[in-house]
Chain A
Amino acid sequence: MSRTEPGGRRHWGPNWLNPPLVIGLGLIALLAIGSYVVPALSQFDAEIANPREALQPPSSRHPFGTDRSGLDIFVRVFQAPRIDLTIVVMGVGLGAVIGVVLGVVTGFSRGIPGEISMRVADIVQAFPLLILAIALVSLSGNNLTNVVYVLAFVNVPVFLRLTRSRVLTVREQRFVQASIALGNSTPRLVFRHILPNSLGPTIVQFGVSMGYGILTLAGLAFLGVGVQVPTPEWGSMILTGASNMTTGQWWISLFPGLALSVAVFAFNLLSEGIEKAREVGSK
């Protein structure tokens, strides 16, 4: 945890450039850049089927092989982050912004609104998230915008809870009291003092939520909800090859799943790295 101080200036610890942070960020950057570079360099299109080259095992022509409709898996695996990362960044980002705003408001003003928002969060979290997500997406129209909203919806309670509990602690600290005594306006108090000192755990949580969001998006697509074939997306690619796994064509599901795991791994690393970077004085 970083030291807190009036004005929200943060003293990063000696670990600010640690291996998990660098490797995590590096992997995410590679996935993002690769999603544009690899398709540009490849001779195959990610969405144009070629039945004459269906179900080919990995070769020098198709490094990851092809699926039942002859789509080149290599290009598709690399192009997938365009959808996967974009949707999850937007969904989790939206959820985080709403959650943080609600958390600051209810934590700062306390009282009844805070209690109500916490009970609502309790109830939303009592439901099985994946089923809720599937129901909301497919009942409200099976398109990508709704997937973004659903990812936001399930993440709001997480960020609300986290931010609120931080704000409740920070607002009792002496520099905040001093700032009130000096006659600072409420917006200045919130934006200059409380918010910067409350965001630490939120940023760490963002990485974890991103990883979980990618898994959720892929899980939805695996059930045929959200992203549809032939749009390159890891979950729906795993679905395409699922029945081939029991007949021996392992490459169709293996590579998209590997890429999916690497992406989730990268965000988990990133969040661990941020947590390490914020530690003060250890090591």
Chain B
Amino acid sequence: MGGLGGNDVGGRSGNSCVAVAEPRRYAYSRGTKAMTGRAWALLIMRRVLFMIPILFAIATATFFLTRFAGGDPAYQIAGTFATEESIANIRADLGTDRPLGVQYVDFLGDSIRGDLGTSLFTDRPVRSDLADRLPATLELITLSLVVAVVVGLASGSYAAHRRGTAADKAVRYGSFTALSLPDFWLGLLLLFVFFFKLGWAPPPIGQIAPGAAAPRDVTGAAVVDATITLNWAALKASLHQIWLPLTTMALIFSGPLTRLARSATIEALGSDAILFGRACGLPRSTLWRYAARASLPPVVTFVGILFSVLLGASVLVETVFSWGGAAQYVVNAIRVNDFPAVQGFVLVAGVFSVVIFLIVDLLYVAIDPRVRL
């Protein structure tokens, strides 16, 4: 493959220009090896092994945080007029009368087997409670993030290419404002306008309206269920329910994403590789594509962070729209001192973030072949 050799710039101009300006090709031309299937398998295996101590640390932190912050749940469960005896009974019931070390080892053992204990409030295994509700939360935040990323990348790179114009200014002010809005308040405003005033949106009553066509419960996420069971009436009904909370979150999170995409694209456009491509006379659309590609890594990192933050932060929007997802479940659990449920959720969320960061790292390698983990 030709590098920056003087001859082929003149000779096979198109190819060598692309070879320099396109980040991946340039990396390959400089001797970076492409990732083979075997290399991927090794990489993933190494990273998954690396996760074990981190997961262990997360379980440990979960255990001690909920124990030390919470005090003795027996007192809270027994209420104000509890006798010594009833408190001792509750402790024995919960297993909190045993030494802390024993409880900790027990907790680790149960967690490894996937047993998160029984909710004190719903009397069901925390695992099935979470399994019922997590899909609704994941569906809402995933779809919102997809919309936010598309809007953010499009408006951010558009503003970068039109730097200094009125359009750029509008995008910058707009995204800066979105950064300062509380999502739950925006949700309420949108409800007032689109439900109360215009009647375009349904009332805030969760994923599926009573009496509407409901999809067969496969995953617990209404839009996904309706799609995989090819139930178009249910798909229409569930999209009708989701569009307002989705718009709320997408509006808020397209703000920081737009700013990030704009600055990353500006940096990419100023890079030597793009400058060289321009000097070669590569078409504008090609340069746009390369700049977009070069601006991806920070965006991917940020989306990863947002995803794990949103797993909990979505509780505000979920509350406004009575979404009934996992975040809302855990906040209710906190209210009634249901500590197995809180512990279970915090553990699952911690594990979830670690998995998300693993995926982000792997995407990095896929986007930029020079990255070695």
Give Cα A248 to B330, complex, Å. Answer: 30
Most chain B beta-carbon neighbours within 10 Å: one of A130, A224, A241: A130
Are the CB atoms of A140 and B70 closer together than 8 Å? yes
- Per the bound structure, the CA–CA distance linking A182 and B357 in Å amounts to 45
Please, how many angstroms separate the alpha-carbon atoms of A219 and B316 in the complex?
7
* Docked-complex contact A245 and B191, CB < 8 angstroms: yes
User: Interface residue count for B (Cβ, 8 Å)?
Assistant: 50
A253 to chain B, nearest CB (A): 5
B309 proximity list for chain A (CB < 8 A): 128-130
State whether B308 touches A128 (Cβ < 8 A).
yes
Within 8 A of A (CB), among B120-179: 176-177, 179
- Of A127, A136, A261, which one neighbours B349 at CB under 8 angstroms? A127
Question: Which residues of B sit under 8 angstroms from A124, Cβ to Cβ?
Answer: 61
A-B contact pairs, 28 of them (CB 8 A): A122-B54, A124-B61, A126-B354, A127-B58, A127-B353, A128-B308, A128-B309, A128-B313, A128-B353, A130-B312, A131-B312, A131-B327, A131-B330, A131-B331, A135-B334, A136-B69, A139-B337, A219-B316, A222-B184, A223-B331, A235-B182, A250-B189, A253-B185, A257-B188, A260-B185, A261-B185, A264-B181, A265-B180
Is A238 touching B188 in the complex (CB atoms < 8 A)? yes
Nearest CB in chain B: distance from A235 CB, A? 8
With both beta carbons as reference points, the residue of chain B lying nearest to A256 in the complex is identified as B185
For the complex, give the distance between the alpha carbons of A247 and B180 in Å: 26
A132 near B312: Cβ-Cβ < 8 Å: yes
A268 at the interface (CB under 8 A from B): yes
Contact A257–B182 (Cβ < 8 Å): yes
Q: A128-B346, A222-B316 are in contact. List 14 more A-B contacts (CB 8 A).
A: A127-B312, A128-B327, A128-B349, A130-B309, A130-B315, A131-B345, A135-B66, A215-B182, A223-B316, A245-B191, A246-B191, A257-B185, A264-B179, A265-B180
Q: A129-B313, A140-B69 are in contact. Are A254 and B189 (CB under 8 A)?
A: yes
Binding site for A on B (CB under 8 A): 54, 57-58, 61-62, 65-66, 69-71, 176-177, 179-182, 184-185, 188-189, 191-192, 195-196, 203-204, 308-309, 311-313, 315-316, 319-320, 327, 330-331, 334-335, 337, 339, 342, 345-346, 349-350, 353-354, 357
